[in-house]
Structure 1
Amino acid sequence: MIDKNKMPLAIGIAFVAFTTQFGGGFASGAQLYQYFINYGIWTLIMPIVAQLILTLFFWYGLSYAYRRKTYDYRSFSNSFYGKYRYILSNLYEIVYLMLICLAPAVAFATGGSTLNMLTGIPYFLCTLIIGVFIFGIALFGTNIVRKAASTLSVVIIIGLIVVLVPNIIVQWDTIMSSIGNLAGGIMPVGSTQTGSFVGALWRAVVYALFQLASIGLMYQHVKPLTDEKQLNLSMIYMFIVNSACMLLAVFGMLAVAYNPELSNTSVPMLLFVQNGVGTAILTPIISILIILGAVSTGVNMIAGIVNRVVGALEARDNNQEISTSKNRIRSTITSFLFTVMTFAIAQFGLLPLIAKGYSYLGYATLIAIGIPFILHALFFKEKKSAKL
């Protein structure tokens, strides 16, 4: 199992940033279609634009956290927003809760859609199966999943490379044909876009913004740094690796961009594999990896909100000693309620959640983080930054 503590610090931070962005949703290919490929030829550059925007925001926020020693998102917000903290700190709390609720729902939908395509079992039952696994593991196996989360993410990426590279090589002519169609203004199957640069750019910005919502999970990781140059280097690593992975996946997904079956699937990666080489071997491999990524994401997010709610309830007990059984009951009830809630949200389907749900999260993040970060960078010197 991968131990981030044994990595160089710059690589470790880049690795954590990588795992916050790439999971089952990315591995399914649905995000790439909804935010990039559906917007035409600009899909060849907009993933880089999105990663550049995201990296700049991450660098600015993490640099502030390092210099001011604010290693959790609440202390960061209170320091960064200054006299506006009563509004903006609480607004970020709302964004964080949106992320906590939406990410498990997408995990349900990703795992459910994958099972549905593989088995033909109704989507509702597939998400129910995923939900049972997530609920059970969130109660009894959270520590194991957390320890394995980084390893799982690396395994997902290795699996994607194993799937993508040979199929890209074999289907290169089809990919080049797709690029020619995009350049000629012929939009992919299911796209309702015009292929305009402005539309593609805005969608890339929205993608960067909803990914930015996870920055609150990153502040803790700058604490071990001894030099800000390490942070700068980690952001360079983050940009290069994330951009390369996205472009590789985009090229792979272009192989099925004009496949009529695309309109009937919510997991383009499976369609890509089923129409490529090594189908008998690669289909179960990528399916397992997508489901593992989905379950891992769902467990971590639900466990996070359970700890937050139970911790708040215990704080209201005025630090009285809480019995193990009472803590277990609270954790079980909270975990069950959030599992049911995110299961219900997942019934909207994978594509609507990614297209609409993440868009709304991006708009909220723009108000709570994006605009304040930009104003802070433009108008406040570092010595004044705590007095925003």
Structure 2
Amino acid sequence: MSKRNLTYFSLAFVWFSVHFGGGFASGRQPVDFFIRHHWTAVFMPAVAMATTGLTLYFGWVLAVKYNTYDYASWAKRIYYPFEKIMSPIHSVVLNVTMILATAVAFATSGSTLEAMLGTNFLLNTVVIGLVIFLLTIFGADLVRKVATVISIFMMICLLGVYVPNIIAFFPKIMANLKTIHDATSAASSDTSVWEALWWGLKYGGLQGCAIGAYIVHAKACPDTKDLKKAAFVGFLLNAGILYLAYFGIISFYDEGSLTQVVPSLFVVQKGIGGQIMPIVLSITLIVASVSTGVSLIFGVANRLVILFGRNMNEAQKAENNRKHSILASLLLLIVCWGVAQFGLIPLVATGFGAVGWMALIVICLPVILRGVGLWKAEASDAYSMAAAKAER
């Protein structure tokens, strides 16, 4: 298999590694976005990942078409002729998501280390920050390679956590699904199929919101056919792992899995695996949190590098690129680390839910409309040159 053919797998794994953060690994996102809602939420992981997959595919294709691999330049082309309004909104939504997700990564991994080793939470988050910092300053190639390795490791761990329990407790899962069906079918209109669909779409929007962390990698895989393969493989990976978590948590729905702070840990404590699986899951939570932080910080830092070099010529930009990359990553990590210290995790469901619907409207919808050709307005060559000059 050629190197180019392998690259689309790397893009799919980057998507997976960003998606599989602390909120997902803990089981809170599958619970809050899917299981808590109407029984038809069983279909929504596929709807959510299809929404994200379409957004990323068209986002990659448009990045290649316009030769824009940082989200600010990319957004100016995507939103034309409304870029002066939409680009800043896009930046705000993206940066809020990055801060939320990375802060959750710090807090989740810090709490997990505290539970495993008894070490201080503050010290733990500093150590995790140093790991993320080192991984982000070595460039896009390393990020893709690390994402691939981490994704494979996480898939193996999750298969070990959920598959045995799903097999062993399959009759119980079916009984619990029937309980959810009966309860939500008889409930008031507050719990409806439309609510389930809305939360599924919001989840798709939430994951698509991190598009700034993805488009930088399209440069390594510019062929449209390979980008389509990356989106398809990414859909299978992400939807598949969502369903494993969904059914794994439902295994113990009747025992209160939805009320647990970390539902996935509740599953391994109640199910198959003995004493070893909680340790494996704890390690997986830490690795998942780090992988999310690395991918998000790297993607947004790329924009700051351009900002730092806006008044420099090409030679000066090249000379200062590494220094600017280090500075951008460090600044972003300090901000996210600071937010994590305020105990953001209890606000994740509300915060991510709000970001999800904003991203669905501000990011996913425009990208898909432009990708399918329903948004046809294009910037002129003169405008593009002026915008590029302004960026520099």
Range of TM-score over shorter length: 0.7 to 0.9
Please name the residue that 2:204 is paired with. 208
Q: CA deviation at 1:237?
A: 2.1
Query: For 1:198-233, what per-residue CA distance to the aligned partner results, in whole angstroms no more than 9, with x for missing partners?
Result: 111100011011111112222233334464222223
| Residue 350 of structure 2 is aligned to residue 356 of structure 1 | yes
Query: For 1:286-308, what per-residue CA distance to the aligned partner results, in whole angstroms no more than 9, with x for missing partners?
Result: 11111122133335545665675
Change (3 A) 1:6 1:379: closer
Q: CA deviation at 1:285?
A: 0.7
| Residue 331 of structure 2 is aligned to residue 334 of structure 1 | yes
SS at match of 2:177: helix
Map residues 139-150 of structure 1 onto 2, 5 A cutoff.
139-140=133-134, 142-143=136-137, 146=143, 147-150=145-148
Q: Which moved more, 1:297-306 or 1:274-283?
A: 297-306
The two structures, once aligned, show a CA RMSD in angstroms of 3.6
Q: Which moved more, 1:367-376 or 1:65-74?
A: 367-376
Please name the residue that 1:247 is paired with. 243
Map residues 305-324 of structure 1 onto 2, 5 A cutoff.
309=304, 312-313=307-308
Query: Which TM-score applies when normalising by structure 2?
Result: 0.81
User: How far apart in 2 are the matches of 1:374 and 1:311?
Assistant: 26
Q: Which moved more, 1:244-253 or 1:30-39?
A: 244-253
User: Where does structure 2 lack aligned partners over 5 or more consecutive residues?
Assistant: 384-392
Change (3 A) 1:134 1:317: farther
Please name the residue that 2:252 is paired with. 256
| Residue 292 of structure 2 is aligned to residue 297 of structure 1 | yes
Query: For 1:326-366, what per-residue CA distance to the aligned partner results, in whole angstroms no more than 9, with x for missing partners?
Result: 97996797367414422234x032x421x111122223323
Q: CA deviation at 1:69?
A: 2.8
Map residues 1-388 of structure 1 onto 2, 5 A cutoff.
7-115=5-113, 125-126=120-121, 128-140=122-134, 142-143=136-137, 146=143, 147-185=145-183, 194-225=190-221, 227-260=223-256, 262-263=258-259, 265-302=260-297, 309=304, 312-313=307-308, 334=331, 337-345=334-342, 347-349=343-345, 351-353=346-348, 355-373=349-367, 375-376=369-370, 380=374, 384-386=377-379
User: Which amino acid in the other structure matches residue 260 of structure 1?
Assistant: G
Query: Which TM-score applies when normalising by structure 1?
Result: 0.81
CA contact (8 A) 1:114 1:267 kept: no
User: How far apart in 1 are the matches of 2:136 and 2:77?
Assistant: 32
Change (3 A) 1:381 1:358: closer
User: How far apart in 2 are the matches of 1:160 and 1:261?
Assistant: 17
User: How far apart in 2 are the matches of 1:106 and 1:58?
Assistant: 23
User: How far apart in 2 are the matches of 1:322 and 1:171?
Assistant: 59
User: Which amino acid in the other structure matches residue 76 of structure 1?
Assistant: W
% identity of equivalent residues = 31
Change (3 A) 1:237 1:305: closer
Change (3 A) 1:107 1:379: same
CA contact (8 A) 1:25 1:31 kept: yes
Query: For 1:218-268, what per-residue CA distance to the aligned partner results, in whole angstroms no more than 9, with x for missing partners?
Result: 2233334464222223322222232222112211111122223652x3111
SS at match of 2:251: helix
CA contact (8 A) 2:33 2:200 kept: yes
Change (3 A) 1:221 1:316: closer
Change (3 A) 1:105 1:192: farther
SS at match of 1:231: helix
User: How far apart in 1 are the matches of 2:297 and 2:51?
Assistant: 28
Q: CA deviation at 1:368?
A: 2.5
User: How far apart in 2 are the matches of 1:77 and 1:174?
Assistant: 48
Change (3 A) 1:193 1:116: farther
CA contact (8 A) 1:156 1:289 kept: yes
User: Where does structure 1 lack aligned partners over 5 or more consecutive residues?
Assistant: none
